[in-house]
Each structure stands twice: as C-alpha cells, then as structure tokens.
Amino acid sequence: MKPDTTLRYGTLTRLFHWGMAACYLFMFATALAWNLDGSLKFLIGAHKAAGVLLLLMTFARFLWALKNLRRRPEGSLKAKLGHLALYALMFAAPASGMARQFEAPFGAAHGALAFLLLLLVGGHIAMTVLHQRKGEAVLQRMA
Ligand code: HEM
Ligand code: HEM
C-alpha cells in the first residue's frame, strides 16, 4: 500500500475517492429511478443502507485526510475550500437523510442538500477538466 506523498495521493486515499464516487452514483441513480417510476420505490431500502455506509466512510476518510494533510499534493486556497465544502455536504446529505427517516426537522432539507452536493461534484469535475487542459496533471495524482 502506497502512502500519500506531495506528488500523488496514496492507495487508501484513492480507494476512498473512487469507491465512494461509485457509491454516490448509486445514491443519485436510485433516487432518480424511483422518482421516474414509482414501482421502483423498493430501491429506497438499498439507498438508505448505502447512505449510512457513506456517512461512516466520510468520517473515516475525513480523519485520514487530516492525518495526511501535510503529505498530500499542494493545492490552492480555492481548491482547499472546494474540498472542504465537499466534505461538509458529504456529512450533511446523509445525516439529513437519517433525520428524514426519524422525521426530525433537518430531514426536510435532504433533497436540497443532496442536490447541492451534486452541483458541487459537477463543479469539482469541471475544475479537474479545466486544470488538466491548462497542463496541470491533477488527475494523475488521484488516478
Ligand atoms: C450521500 C448520501 C445520500 C445522497 C446523495 C442522497 C440523495 C437523495 C436524493 C437525491 C433523494 C431524492 C430527493 C427527493 O425525492 O426529495 C433522496 C431521497 C431520500 N433519501 Fe437520500 N441520499 C443520501 C443518504 C440517505 C440516507 C443515509 C438516508 C436514510 C437512512 C436517506 C433516505 C432518503 C429518503 C427516505 C428519501 C425519500 C424517499 C421518498 O421519496 O419517499 N438518504 N436522497
Ligand atoms: C468523475 C468524478 C471525479 C473526478 C474526475 C475527480 C477528480 C479529483 C481529483 C483530480 C482530485 C485531486 C485534486 C487535487 O489534488 O487538487 C480530487 C480530489 C478530491 N475529490 Fe474528486 N473527483 C471526482 C468525484 C468526486 C466525488 C463524487 C467526490 C465526493 C462527493 C469527490 C471528492 C473529492 C475530495 C474531497 C477530494 C480531496 C482529496 C480527498 O480528501 O479525498 N470527488 N478529485
């Protein structure tokens, strides 16, 4: 297992990044599916289970990021703030899903928070493409 270095993210960081990205895809795909076709509401069970797992993984990934902060590739202040905002929503979206489950007031924000996360991920991917086109090999650090 390769550790994080200032040139490249390590094995565990990359596993977290791409494994969780696949889980988020599953979360949005299931929500879209049952909203388009009511007979697919049975997917809500898997959505909740994967969502709780994502919340737990976010805790582990965030602690891992803090532990390795000084050994990671350098980023601009804007990139750091962008990643921090992503983390905030990676916590808030599933937490609000759980609140919705227990009919707590914060639960009403679940759809909006999930949509915000989706928007931010869109921006995150756009920034990756932009940097890549400028000749900065950011994708190679995470790939
Ligand atoms: C990162 C994690 C999550 C994402 C990205 C996500 C995303 C979404 C999206 C986009 C919707 C559709 C919005 C709407 O129809 O209002 C939704 C609905 C819902 N989510 Fe999540 N969710 C996550 C985690 C969770 C968790 C952890 C739970 C509960 C344990 C949960 C429970 C629900 C419920 C109950 C609904 C509404 C189902 C219905 O239409 O009756 N979600 N979620
Ligand atoms: C096709 C999808 C994606 C691409 C191409 C992509 C690309 C990247 C790249 C190139 C980096 C390194 C940036 C740097 O060093 O400055 C990065 C880091 C990061 N990405 Fe993504 N990403 C994707 C999806 C996601 C998703 C879905 C999330 C979370 C919802 C996410 C959250 C993060 C975070 C928090 C970091 C900072 C490093 C860390 O703590 O893991 N990314 N991403």
| 100 Cα: distance to centroid of ligand 1 (angstroms) | 8
Closest of 55, 47, 50 to residue 30, by C-alpha: 47
Ligand 1 atom closest to the Cα of residue 100 is: 35
Query: How high is the mean pLDDT of the chain?
Result: 97
Provide the pLDDT confidence category of residue 34 given band limits of 50, 70 and 90. Answer: very high
The pLDDT of 83-96, averaged and rounded, is: 98
Nearest CA to ligand 2 atom 36: 83
Q: Are 81 and 88 in contact (CB under 8 A)?
A: no
Q: What is the DSSP string of 22-69?
A: HHHHHHHHHHHHHHH-GGGTTHHHHHHHHHHHHHHHHHHHHHHHHHTG
Which one-letter amino acid corresponds to residue 26? F
- Ligand 2 pocket, residue 120 CB under 6 Å: no
Ligand 2 atom closest to the Cα of residue 83 is: 35
Which pLDDT score is estimated for 109? Answer: 98
DSSP state, residue 101: H
- What stretch of H or E contains 108? none
Closest of 59, 56, 50 to residue 29, by C-alpha: 50
| 44 Cα: distance to centroid of ligand 1 (angstroms) | 8
Provide the pLDDT confidence category of residue 13 given band limits of 50, 70 and 90. Answer: very high
Q: Indicate the domain borders of the chain.
A: 11-142
Cβ atoms < 10 Å from Cβ of 117: 21
Question: CA angle, corner 126, sides to 87 and 24, nearest 5?
Answer: 45
Overall pTM > 0.75: yes
SS3 5: coil
Cα 4 from Cα 124, distance rounded (Å): 21
- Ligand 2 pocket, residue 121 CB under 6 Å: yes
